Structures are given as structure tokens and as C-alpha cells.
Chain A
């Protein structure tokens, strides 16, 4: 691998501390996981603006709603599994419906949680969040992008869901470029097929593109960091120009990013398509690499999917 691996959580913590310095309206809540999510960094710097809610995620979401309704910009963190399904009603009723300024930034999403197993490996959170009206859904590709996203969403009004992982991930984005919401960067140009990734799978798409050049295939790679609102323009343009699309996500193929892309293509421009992602099953304990292989999230899986799409292109 050609990239440096870095922690998204660490950059989240760093961005939060900067935000805390820049703005007095930033308040952070956590549910007894602050050392893992790295909101502890903010807690250390601004103890008076950090509230540990204990192991009480539902309570935390509604508390966040109340703070936001009183003018605060609230960041709420826990593990993705506890910050979505566990308190879905609270997010729906008290944050999304009243369109409140709460940023749900959750870590440990997907199967790269590893050893903790399926109870902690949420593979359906994107689905849960993207069906909520008013909710913006962002999956940063790496640590650098995580930092930019956190700084960006603090300026946005309304609820946002930001999904980051536990493991260190390859840094593929550069410091200089600015994060633009709902504008998916083409991180590698190409004309034969498009690989659309989000989160940790963007780097896998880039590796797959390298692999495909060995077969004389010129693949385009898109970093679809914003799942909602979705960048229809870039997706349709890529489909039109390359004639085939592969999506890759560390999430269930049911109703995740790939499904969102499929919906755009079905309604706008039909091309052969294949979704790489976790099949409709729960995960299990294991090392990250093992799990990525077992559940079909490898570079080879993407390459294979690209070949399949190319075959159907003709």
C-alpha cells in the first residue's frame, strides 16, 4: 500500500478542539465512550462545554436536541451502533423532524470494528440515516477528510450524520483541497468504468483502478463522501462517459451508498452496475483484513465487479 495510515478519530478530536477554541457555541456530548471517539480531547480542553451522559444514548440525543434548540451547535458522539439504531426514535423525533443543529459524529462503524463482533459492527446505519428527512449523511474517506468534514459541518445548519471508523485508514485526500458538501471529487480520471467508493473503500477503489490498468482498463474513481444529498451530476456524468459503474462501501448492500447510486442511475441514465458491499448478513469477530475478505470488501472484489460490469457493457 502506498498511503500513510491515520486515525479518523484522532482528526475528529483535533477538529473539535479547534472548533471549541474558535466558537463558544460548540458543545459536545458523549455516552461513556469519549476516550474511544476522541471527544475526550474536547472534554479536556473545554470541560464546561462537554457533557458525558453516561450509557444513555437516547437521553443523550434528546439532551442534544434541547441544547441545539437553545442556540448551541452540538456534536454528539458514541459508537455508530449505539448512535443510530439504539436511539433512532430520538434522532427522528427530536433532531431530524425539528431540523435541529445536532451533528452526530459516530465512530466504529462497519465491520472494521473487528473483534467486538456483530453486536458492535453496524452495517445498516447509512440506510437508517439517509431515509430521515432533513438529515445530511457524510462518510469521510480518511483522516484528513474527516478533519475537513468536521470543520465544515460545524458551519452548516441542521442535522448531520458523519460516519467514521475505528481503524486507521489510508490517507488518500490532500490537505489543501476544500471539502465541498454533496460534490463528489473524481480522485482518478478514467473512461472505461467508474468505481464509486465511500469511506475506507475509496482507497480500495484506487488500488483496484491500478490493478485494472494491468488489464488495459482505464477506471475512473469517485469519492462519494456525501451520501445525502447525493451528487447526481457527477454520478450521471460518470455513467454517461464510462458506461458502467461499480460501487464499494463498508455497509450492507441493502440501502446503503450503492443503493443510493443505483436509484440515481435507474432514474437518469441506465448503465450496467454492480454493488460491492456487505451482503445481507451480520458480521462477526475477526481481524479487519480477514473480515474484509470474508465479507467481500477487497480490491479483488472490486476488480471482479468491474470485469463483470465491463462484460455487460457490450
Chain B
């Protein structure tokens, strides 16, 4: 196991916090959007873009880059925030989210936004698209890896399992999926709407290497991803146990903040909790 010094981890945590602040601000300014699932994914995104991915924000089309597919496209604010933090486009642009003429559409659009690898928003497509990229990498004998972030609600989608089968069948060990297991979907808790458990057994039965982690712990995110990189002949899924709305007290585990912007007062509280009103 690699050991990461505390300073490095603290730095990643600070980035995650900035992503959360951006998300709240963007969604507040846009007047709509999905804070809950954006906040639950912030730590994974920070780890990906500031440690895991081999990428170059100055060359979004670098052929050998690792690919990240945001399958749960409604978490677009978190993706845009990390892309801006990484330098794909100016941080100023974040406030254009959802505005007419903006490059930052309500859901990710690969034609418009530098760094977005796949247009998403309709749930359940991302893993299959990532598999396509992974097949291309194998065909081209390229070493780039594909990372896909799915919601746990997305596990309801039949295509997720079609894609899970395909990835195992073609031994796509260059694919790593994170399941943002925040236990909530739109209408309620996943286990009430469409029960997923035993989720880990399901993935195992589909031929995947399965790791379960705390999705808000940087060290665990990084260690699990490193482990995935070492697994040969099969894809890896990292079931990341998270809290929807993580980081803002009144949003944590709060179903109604799945897809609702904070009010002015709520905005101010959230920014204070996240360590300042300036991202």
C-alpha cells in the first residue's frame, strides 16, 4: 500500500471543498440544478482530476489521456467545477451554468465543454460509452484508462447491467466504475424505490472485481483506484459509500435537495459551512 503524506491529502480535501462551494454557488446562481448528487461526488472528482487521471487540461484532445465519463450527468456542476479547477476553462465561467449561450449546459455536452468526454443526462448510458472507449484503447494498444461515475439509482437501469456484462466479457480491465452509493435516488431511498442489495454480490456475479470504500475518504478513494489499476483480466467497480448533500448540514441525506437550488438564506449558510463565501 502506498502511503500518502498528510499534506497531500489535505490539499485534495481542500480542492474537494472548493468544488462543493462552486457547486452551491453555481446552482444558487442558476436557480436550478442538482446539489445532492454533486456534493456526494465531490471527493471522488477531486481525487480523479488532481491525482488519478493522466490528463492535460491544455490539451483536452490528447489521444493518450485517461477518460472520465460522468454517467450521472445531473452532477454536472461538480464536473464543471473540477474541470475549471483543473484549468480546462476559466473559473469565472462557472457562473454561466444553465444560462443561454453558455458552454456549461444543465447536463454535460461534449461538443460544448472542454474536458467533457461524453454527453450524458439520460441515465444509464455512461458505462456502455466508457466501454466503447475502453475497447478503442485495447484496439489501439493504448494504455489510457476509463473511469466512469454512476449513481446508485442508475443501477436500476437495465443498460447498466448490459454494459456490466459486456465489460466483463471483453475483459475490460482498463475500466473502473465508481458507484456513488449515497442511498438516495430522486423519489426516495434506493432500497424503497428499487432495492439494490446485495449490490456488491451482483457486480461480483457479473464478473467484476469489487471494492467497497468510504467515498469521502481520500486515502480510500486513491488506494481503491490503485488496486483497480492492478487488476488484470476483469473490470473493477468501486462502491463508494457516500452521503448525498455531503458537506452542507441541511442537505446531508435530504431527499428534497436532490434537484433543488438553495434559497438565499440557505445559500449563505451553506457557504459558511463550506468555509467561506468566496470559492
Which residue numbers of A lie inside 8 Å of B, CB to CB? 27, 48-49, 51, 53-54, 56, 58-72, 74, 89-90, 92-94, 97-99
Contact = CB atoms under 8 A, between A and B. Distances in A.
Interface string B94-130: 0000000000000001110000011111101111111
A69 B118 contact: yes
Given A59-B159, A62-B159, A63-B166, A68 B121 contact: no
Interface in B61-79: 63, 67, 69
Interface of B: 63, 67, 69, 109-111, 117-122, 124-137, 139-140, 158-159, 162-163, 165-166, 169-170
Contact of B120 (A54, A92, A93, A99): A93
Contact of A56 (B109, B126, B165): B165
**How would you classify the secondary structure of chain B's contact residues: helix, strand, loop or mixed?**
helix
Contact of B133 (A49, A70, A93): A70
A61 B159 CA distance: 11
11 contacts: A62-B125, A62-B132, A63-B128, A66-B135, A67-B133, A67-B135, A70-B133, A72-B136, A72-B139, A74-B132, A94-B125
Most chain A CB neighbours (cut-off 10 Å) among B111, B118, B128, B132: B132
**How would you classify the secondary structure of chain A's contact residues: helix, strand, loop or mixed?**
helix
A59 B166 contact: yes
A188 to B, nearest CB: 42
Nearest to A53: B166
A94 B170 contact: no
Contacts of B166: 51, 53-54, 56, 59, 63
Nearest to B73: A93
Given A69-B133, A97-B119, A62 B128 contact: yes
A58 B158 CA distance: 9
Given A66-B128, A69-B129, A99-B111, A93 B119 contact: yes
A72 B129 CA distance: 13
Contact of A93 (B125, B140, B162): B125
A98 B128 contact: no
Contacts of B163: 59, 62-63
A249 to B, nearest CB: 30
B125 A69 contact: no
A232 B135 CA distance: 41
